[in-house]
Structure 1
Amino acid sequence: MDSTMRAVVLDGPGGLDALTLRQLPIPRPEPGWALIRVKAFGLNRSELHTRLGLADGVTFPRVPGIEATGIVVDCPGGELAEGRQVAAMMGGMGRTYDGGYAEYTCVPVGQVLEFRSALDWAVLGAVPEMLQTAYGSLHVGLDAQPGQSILIRGGSSSIGMATAVLAHQMGMTVISTTRNSAKIATLQEAGVDHVLIDDGLIAHQVRELVPEGVDAALELVGTPTLPDTLRSIRFHGVACFTGMLSNQWIVPEFYPIDYLPRGVPLAAYSGDAADLPADVLQSFLDAVAAGRMTIPIHHVYRMDEIREAHAVMEEGTASGKLVVLP
């Protein structure tokens, strides 16, 4: 094995030019950690927040990336066998220690899930964080049940589309929003029953479809649309705040009695690798391989195109996941 690797490095917050491609020493794992040869990694808004200086707890210089898929190269503690296919995510990746934007990454074994799949690495690279967040939002944040109705605010994001796929499989009635009418067909292919064009105020459109309000709502845009999302929910329904595509996640001068509709609970979800059971990941990948599930991928890039990929993520023009192959 070579002694160096290519990696994307951030010396500090900045624009697209802050993302620099360099040669770094390949890290060496200590007991309790695993060295993974990265075959693909997905892009996430978390990494955009890191680049823009909006993320807490990040130290620089840093290799960003809160997820990666690849093959185990070394695991001194023996928890993971060499050569196994794995997905790594969260737990400080790309924030407090170097993450997945590299040819190799070294992570705690507790952040790693094993799987077996013959799917292309570009497809596998789209899955870990997207599936973990969608699954966790549905089952931890919303406690969603088959046959319920759900509003996905920010539905054309990768997490929004993955949530639609899972909710459709559960037999839920799925309502998703997008600001771009060109994305309607893509959302419908993901299993969305009703697509709403989001002008910032869509609660009245939701209640035209479901007069009493939806059973559950997933907020992926952020605090600018949250009050309107809350007004879309039935009495004793639930909202889950998971994402902030708007880069706004703080409600100034929050007064709960005035802000929250009567009888509508507001939950939040911020998950970890432990929130995605290994058997759920394996079942999802098996279903994709069998053609029963679809992974929404917008585009696949090479690592030297990382600035272009980040530009698309920042513009918010993607319909589905952005994936990078080292």
Structure 2
Amino acid sequence: MSQSMRAIVINGFGPPENLIIKTVPRPPATLGTALIRIRAFGINHAEMHMRRGEWAESVPISGIECVGTVEDCPGGEFAPGSAVAALMGGLGRSIPGTYAEYTVANVRNIADLGENPPMLPWPELAAIPESYATAWTCLFRNLELENGQTLLIRGATSAFGRAAVNLAVEAGAIVTGTTRNKEMFQHLQSLGVSDPVIEGPDLPTRLRDEGKTVKFDRILDLVGNITVVDSMSLAKRGGRVCLAGWLGGLDPIPGLPGVSGHAGFNPLLQMASGVHFSFFGSFVFGNPEFPLTDVPLKSIVQSVRDGRFDARPSRVFEFEQIQDAHRIMEAGQANGKMVVVVDRE
């Protein structure tokens, strides 16, 4: 095996043009890790912020997830040739990520996908790991979603949002989903969303029934800090709100305008009473409290193969088209999960 590989490297923080392809040393696997031959990887908003230098930490080789085959696993946790997904565990943040032909991941952050060749083509598999693992954890751990409950998903047409819609509808929830584009209403309805609505800061004033604001059992907010206070006002007493995305940017939660001394978020004045608020960040996957084995990824892949979930990537790019992928993501035109194919064999 060659001791070198191609990798997409952040050549200084800045625009998509700063993502360049270089030949770099191939990393070796050590005990507790596995060397993965990457077949495809998903594109995520976090990587856009890493490229810009807006994330708390990043390394030159970005990428937080991939699918591929195990080349070497010194501890024997995975057999060579196994089809796997790898996500988080510092990938792209503190250790070289998945924008490459190979990566070394902690075995705690690798999931066995079963047979090889896998149940789905590599580009379709690459659309699943991070979005579905995070959506599943938010819905069934943080929110404790149950059959028959009402659920609001803010940012439902994002890749993460669509994964959450698929999982929630299958679980029997009654889903309302927001989108910035009215043309996406029909697509959301095809996924099982009962009530698609336009996303915006005035959402509580538009979600009304007989003069009263509609309240939800559960709310998954993927828009972020700019909407989370509104989201809390839309939850029933005893309801749950989970913040798990930043489609609206990374600015802090805004304080009350025009109120002296309250420039920042003030729970006393802005939080809804009796509402449970939590956060989930997928960077905790692999920690003892958040084992990746908790997520039924293999059964999710089976559901996609059987047609119960629509997880097809919105766009598929070649390795050399990474700049184009980032430009589209930056322009807000992804319309779902975009993936990059590294190796089609």
TM-score (norm 2): 0.90
Tell me the CA shift for residue 278 of structure 1.
6.5
Q: 2: CA distance between counterparts of 1:245 and 1:316?
A: 9
> 8 Å contact 1:204–1:232 — kept in the other structure?
no
| Contact preservation (8 Å) 2:232, 2:272 | yes
Match of residue 277, structure 1, among 279, 293, 301: 293
Task: State the partner residue of 2:97.
Answer: 99
What's 1:240 paired with?
242
Q: How high is the sequence identity, in percent, across the aligned residues?
A: 36
Structure 1 residue 265: Cα displacement: 2.0
Q: Provide the C-alpha distance between the structure 1 equivalents of 2:5 and 2:187, rounded to a whole number of angstroms.
A: 37
Task: Tell me whether 153-162 or 293-302 shows the greater mean CA deviation.
Answer: 293-302
1:202 is aligned to 2:203: yes
> What do the CA deviations read for 1:195-218 (whole angstroms, capped 9, x no partner)?
001232112333439955010111
Q: Tell me the CA shift for residue 275 of structure 1.
A: 4.7
Q: Is the 8 A contact 1:126 1:322 kept in 2?
A: yes
Kept in 1, the 8 Å contact 2:110–2:292? The answer is no
> Please, which of 294, 309, 317 is the counterpart of residue 325 of structure 2?
309
Moved more, 155-164 or 197-206: 197-206
**Counterpart code for 1:143:** E
SS of the aligned residue for 1:297 comes to coil
Question: Equivalences for 1:261-300 in 2 at 5 Å?
Answer: 261-271=272-282, 272-273=285-286, 274-277=290-293, 280-300=296-316
Instruction: Kindly indicate whether the alpha-carbon contact (under 8 Å) linking 1:158 and 1:296 is maintained by their aligned counterparts in 2.
Output: no
Per-residue deviation at 1:296? 4.4
Deviates more, 1:108-117 or 1:96-105: 108-117
Q: After TM superposition, give the deviation of residue 249 of structure 1 in Å.
A: 4.9
Counterparts of 2:4 and 2:143, CA distance in 1: 44
- The separation in 2 between residues aligned to 1:13 and 1:285, in whole angstroms, is 35
- Report the TM-score, using the length of structure 1 for normalisation: 0.95
Helix, strand or coil: the match of 2:209? helix
Q: Measure, in 2, the Cα distance between the counterparts of 1:204 and 1:276.
A: 39
Q: Which amino acid aligns with 1:258?
A: L
* 1:47 paired residue number: 47
The residue matched to 1:152 in structure 2 has which SS? strand
Deviation at 1:66, TM superposition (A): 0.5
The aligned amino acid for 2:36 is I
Structure-1 separation of matches of 2:98 and 2:176: 33
| AA of the residue aligned to 2:341 | L
**Alignment match, 1:84:** 82
CA deviations over 1:207-230 (Å, ceiling 9, x no partner): 439955010111111111222222
Give yes or no for contact 2:62–2:99 (8 Å, CA) kept in 1.
yes
Q: d(CA) in 1 for partners of 2:171 and 2:296?
A: 14
Instruction: Please list the CA deviations of residues 74-132 of structure 1 after superposition, one character each: whole Å capped at 9, or x if unmatched.
Output: 01111111000011000110111111111111111111110123211011001110111
1:188–1:296 distance in 2 versus 1, CA, 3 Å: farther
Structure 1 window deviating more from structure 2 (272-281 vs 115-124): it is 272-281
Task: Identify which range, 70-79 or 249-258, moves more after superposition.
Answer: 249-258
Distance 2:205 2:265 in 1: 24
Q: Which amino acid aligns with 1:48?
A: M
Give distance in 1, aligned partners of 2:75 and 2:292. Answer: 23
Bigger mean CA deviation after superposition, 266-275 or 241-250: 266-275
CA contact (8 A) 1:6 1:24 kept: yes
**Could you say which residue in structure 1 is the equivalent of 2:226?**
224
Structure 1 CA distance, aligned partners of 2:295 and 2:141? 17
Deviations 1:248-296 (A, max 9, x none): 2522522101111122221111131545436711111111112222214
Q: Return the alpha-carbon distance in structure 2 between the equivalents of residues 276 and 88 of structure 1.
A: 10
Q: Deviations over 1:164-210 (max 9, x none)?
A: 00000011011111111121122222221110012321123334399
Quote the Cα distance in structure 2 between the aligned partners of 1:284 and 1:278.
12
**1:178 equivalent in structure 2:** 179
Report the Cα distance in structure 1 between the residues aligned to 2:109 and 2:19, rounded to whole angstroms: 25
Q: Distance in 2 between matches of 1:312 and 1:275?
A: 33
Conservation of the 8 A alpha-carbon contact between 2:33 and 2:107? yes
Greater shift in the superposed pair: 302-311 or 256-265: 256-265
Give distance in 2, aligned partners of 1:296 and 1:142. 26
Match of 1:17 in 2: 17
CA distance in 2, matches of 1:201, 1:230: 13
Secondary structure of the residue aligned to 1:277 is: helix
1:239–1:279 Cα change, 3 Å: closer
- Deviation for aligned residue 1:50: 0.4
Pick from 44, 64, 67 the counterpart of residue 66 of structure 1.
64
Structure 2: segments with no counterpart, 5+ residues:
255-263
CA deviation profile, 1:131-184 (whole Å, cap 9, x unmatched)? 111001102221111110111111111000100000000110111111111211
How many residue pairs match? The answer is: 324
- The one-letter amino acid paired with 2:245 is G
**Aligned partner of 1:126: which letter?**
A
